[in-house]
Chains A and B, each alone.
Chain A
Amino acid sequence: MTEFIIIMLVKMFVIFGAVMLTMTYITLAERKILGYMQIRPGPNRVGPWGLLQPIADGIKLFLKEDIIPDKASKVVFVIAPAMALIPAVMTLAVIPFGPAVTIMGRQVDVYMADVNIGILYIFAVSSIGVYGIVLAGWSSESKYSLLGGLRSSAQMISYELSMGFALVGVIMMSQSLSMVKIIEAQKGVWFIVPQFFGFIIYITAAIAELNRTPFDLPEGESELVAGYFTEYSSMKYAMFMLGEYINIISVSGIVTTLYLGGWSGPILPPLAWFMIKLLAVVFFMIWVRATYPRFRYDQLMTFGWKVLLPASIANILLTPVFMKIFGYL
């Protein structure tokens, strides 16, 4: 039992540390890639190629004055960033970064837990994140924050639906909710091929769920200044940002696991394959950000309810037909 606890604790620290490191460098990568796409160099002052920029950013945010607006309801204002960050970290528990490896004569899995309801767990946990945002918007007592919070909650709730439905196709094909079983089911062909339609729906909804361009209305700079975190500063602001970028990693991890065959791939070790695929998904999101403008609020809702949701339902209906034709059943 003690051994189990120790292994779990070590794994927890390793995975958390690795994800935090990846996340900080994804912020740098985002700025660099955006920079190159926009014919400018991006951060290049702190360290070679700006490699120390994330650390400088972290220190800066940490040393900033922590402002709580006078009229804000203080308890909620303080709790909200944590409520946005914690669920983001919790989803990491079920993302399988690699298969079991042998360390010092022990079989150790490179993931926290292979829950038999992995996907359900992710949905359950990630939906809590929206509370952080709503409460942040509400407790700030600022009109811009309030509008941002409202937009965000409406958006996340409506897109979560099509996101869940899109995944039903994958669940049908793998006949399991466990992340590891789903990877094993993709031994022959990655689910991006038979579930291409579902993949498109999922990634669209996921970008919306992450509040990224073209669905970045909650923090639409040109409209709502900074949306729900307008009034936040210092580490509380940093916690929202952390949550956001960890969510990017976990969503990319989910896409990798469910559609891109997870850790499987030739020659390179599984963990490397997982990272390559994950970063490819992240790159795709950054690319979209450099290219697309922003939807209008009502167009966003229309798109979610009238286009994505019917499409995802159609995907559910078509998947069994497809499976019958191609002999999966």
Chain B
Amino acid sequence: MAETKNMILNMGPQHPSTHGVLRLILELDGETVVKLTPEIGYLHRGVEKLGENLTYHQFIPLTDREDYVAALSNNLAYCMTVEKLLGLEVPPRAMVARVLLTELQRIASHLIWLGTFGLDIGAMSLFFYCMREREQILDIFEACAGARLTINYFAIGGLRHDLPEGFESRVRDFIKIFPERMKNDYERIFQDNKIVRMRTEGVGIISKEDAIDLGLSGPLLRACGVAWDIRKSNPYCGYETYDFDIATGKVGDVFDRYLVRMEEMRQSLKIVQQALDRLPGGAHLADDPKVCLPPKQKVMTEMEALIHHFKIVSEGFEPPVGEVYHSIETPRGELGFYIVSDGSNKPYRLRFRPPSFVNLESLAKMAEGKLIGDLIAIIGALDPVMGEVDR
């Protein structure tokens, strides 16, 4: 018999379903994946190094460009880390608004995930339905910050601007419409479909122990049945006062990841509702003239405010010497920022722990020995954002 050799297939960085510029080197035996080697770094921009040369305020827009599907979550994680370093108190209105907006961001991010996951396994229409609802959320963001994708709305000490007029009614419209859309347009067309079940159930199983060993977080970990959510285990922004459940799966397969994310959207909507009901009035930015930009009106009329404005914009502020780590639960998992301050106006070292990067390591474990079709579903359910992986 002739000698047989496995085929090496290079998948990506330009490939329709590698979600950006992920490159996979596959060793294939027929259609079975024997070995999988992910290649990353195609989107590396050296953001962490850039951070060492920017003042603390100047770095916020760069966080938008990490996990660009959930920019607000990144804003929040960074701002909270700096606030922790400074020991800065955020006014209650900003705190509630932050919760509300990041939960909307979670829904928007999961909608993108759901749509592209549908595309990956061939269900085309779902994508457009998801985009329709996401559009509504992006409109809310646009009303708040003027931007839709790289939102850059959170500032150190609170919000960049106050919430816009008509914000409440927009959010209420969304709350009213979304559960019905979820049930009719997503679940009935997708979840109840026999082929979807065949493609997702029992695919890409990862055990609880392996998931913890690999350091997975977010929906991926919760689908294995580990009820780990930083919003519960290490609450920030007052999450301990909201009533919501952690969605967990049983088996840890692709279908469980789907169910977990769907349930998370529902829970997020619940949090949005609660946050909207309790949204207090008052200041949207902390009253610390050394750190937070004064309102424009004051800059125009008061000498002192003008000086503060000039100082903050040109030099920034100087936090105390020390190091700090803070993490939050983004749609993809635990996002943590680590900042070392040497007392100057720029961080001595800035680093972050992107959830996608850590989650991606489980890919080989889940996909080896499976078919190419499974691999596509697994990547889809992993929901990696390459901007965050490569930084």
Would A299 and B198 be within 8 Å (CB), given that A38-B124, A294-B121 are in contact? yes
Q: What is the 8 Å Cβ interface bit string for chain B, positions 78-121, against chain A (1 contact, 0 not)?
A: 00000000000000000000000000000000000000001111
CA–CA, A291 and B372, complex, Å: 23
Name the interface residues of B220-244: CB closer than 8 Å to any CB of A.
none
Give the complex CA separation of A297 and B377 in angstroms: 13
Taking the complex as formed, is B373 at the interface, i.e. its CB lies under 8 A from any CB of chain A?
Answer: yes
| Given A39-B129, A213-B122, A222-B121; A296-B193 close (CB under 8 Å) | no
Chain A 281-329 residues near chain B, CB threshold 8 A: 289-299
Given contacts A222-B16, A223-B373, A293-B123, are A143 and B9 in contact (CB under 8 A)?
A: yes
Q: Is B313 an interface residue (CB 8 A)?
A: no
The reply to whether A223 and B196 contact each other, CB–CB distance below 8 Å, is no
Pick from B17, B189, B195 the residue with the most CB of A within 10 Å.
B195
Chain A residues near B119 (CB, 8 Å)?
222
A40 and B193 contacting across the interface, CB-CB below 8 Å = no
Question: A40-B128, A147-B31, A295-B195 are known contacts. Are A222 and B371 too (CB-CB below 8 A)?
Answer: no
- Choice from A34, A40, A225 contacting B15 with Cβ under 8 Å: A225
Q: B374 in the interface, Cβ–Cβ < 8 Å? A: yes
- Residues from chain B with a CB closer than 8 A to the CB of A220 are 122, 373
Check A38/B125 contact, CB under 8 A, given A222-B119, A297-B371: yes
In the complex, which residue of chain A has the Cβ closest to the Cβ of B10? A143
B17's nearest neighbour on chain A, judged by CB, is: A222
Nearest-neighbor residue (CB-CB) of B203 within chain A = A296
Chain B residues positioned under 8 Å from A216 (CB to CB):
122
Given the known interface contacts A38-B128, A222-B376, the answer about A292 and B31 at a Cβ–Cβ threshold of 8 Å is no
User: Do most interface residues of chain B lie in helix, strand or loop, or is the interface mixed?
Assistant: helix
Decide yes or no whether B7 CB sits under 8 A from chain A.
yes
Closest chain B CB from A138 CB (angstroms): 14
Q: Given contacts A39-B132, A298-B371, is CB(A143)–CB(B376) below 8 Å? A: no
CB distance from A165 to the nearest CB of B (A): 23
Please report the C-alpha to C-alpha distance between residue A293 and residue B196 in the assembled complex, in whole angstroms.
Answer: 7
Instruction: Give residues of chain A (181-230) contacting chain B, Cβ–Cβ below 8 Å.
Output: 213-214, 216-217, 220-225
A-contact bits for B112-147, CB 8 A (1 contact / 0 none)? 000000111111110111001000000000000000
Indicate with 1 or 0, residue by residue over B197-229, a CB within 8 angstroms of chain A CB atoms: 011000000000000000000000000000000
* Pairwise interchain contact B122-A293, C-beta atoms closer than 8 A: yes
Shortest C-beta distance, A292 to chain B (Å), equals 6
Contact indicator B15/A291 (Cβ below 8 Å): no
Q: In the complex, what distance in Å separates the CA atom of A293 from the CA atom of B373?
A: 12
A214-B195, A222-B119 given; A290·B374 CB < 8 A: no
A297 touches B195 (CB 8 A): no
| Set of chain B residues within 8 Å of A147, measured between Cβ atoms | 9, 31, 372
Looking at the assembled complex, report how far the CB atom of A306 sits from the nearest CB atom of chain B, in whole angstroms.
Answer: 13
**A291 touching B189 in the complex, CB below 8 Å, given contacts A220-B122, A222-B376, A296-B374:** yes
- Per the bound structure, the CA–CA distance linking A61 and B220 in Å amounts to 44
Measured between beta carbons, the chain B residues less than 8 angstroms from A38 are 124-125, 127-129
Whether B122 lies near A214 (C-beta < 8 A) is yes
Residues from chain A with a CB closer than 8 A to the CB of B123 are: 291-294
- Name the distance in Å between B181's Cβ and chain A's nearest Cβ: 11
A37: interface (CB < 8 Å):
yes
Q: Do the beta carbons of A34 and B124 come within 8 Å of each other?
A: yes
Closest residue on chain A to residue B189 by CB atoms? A291
Q: Which residues of A contact B127 (CB under 8 A)?
A: 38
Given contacts A222-B376, A297-B371, contact A292 B128 (CB under 8 A): no
Question: Do B132 and A293 touch across chains, with their CB atoms under 8 A apart?
Answer: no
Instruction: Please state if B17 and A296 are interface contacts (CB–CB under 8 Å).
Output: no
Among A37, A217, A221, A295, contact of B16 (Cβ-Cβ < 8 Å): A221
14 A–B contacts, CB within 8 A, in A order:
A38-B129, A39-B132, A221-B16, A221-B17, A291-B123, A292-B122, A293-B121, A294-B123, A294-B199, A295-B199, A296-B374, A297-B371, A298-B31, A298-B371
Using A291-B125, A294-B122, A297-B373 as known contacts, list a sample of 14 further A-B pairs with CB atoms less than 8 Å apart, ordered by residue number in A: A38-B128, A214-B195, A217-B373, A220-B122, A221-B17, A222-B121, A223-B372, A290-B125, A293-B122, A293-B195, A294-B373, A295-B195, A295-B199, A297-B31
Residues of A within 8 A of B (CB): 34, 37-40, 143-144, 147, 213-214, 216-217, 220-225, 289-299
Q: Which 5 A-B pairs have the closest CB atoms?
A: A294-B122, A296-B373, A222-B17, A293-B123, A38-B128
Which residues from chain B sit less than 8 Å from chain A, CB to CB? 7, 9, 15-17, 31, 118-125, 127-129, 132, 189-190, 193, 195-196, 198-199, 371-374, 376
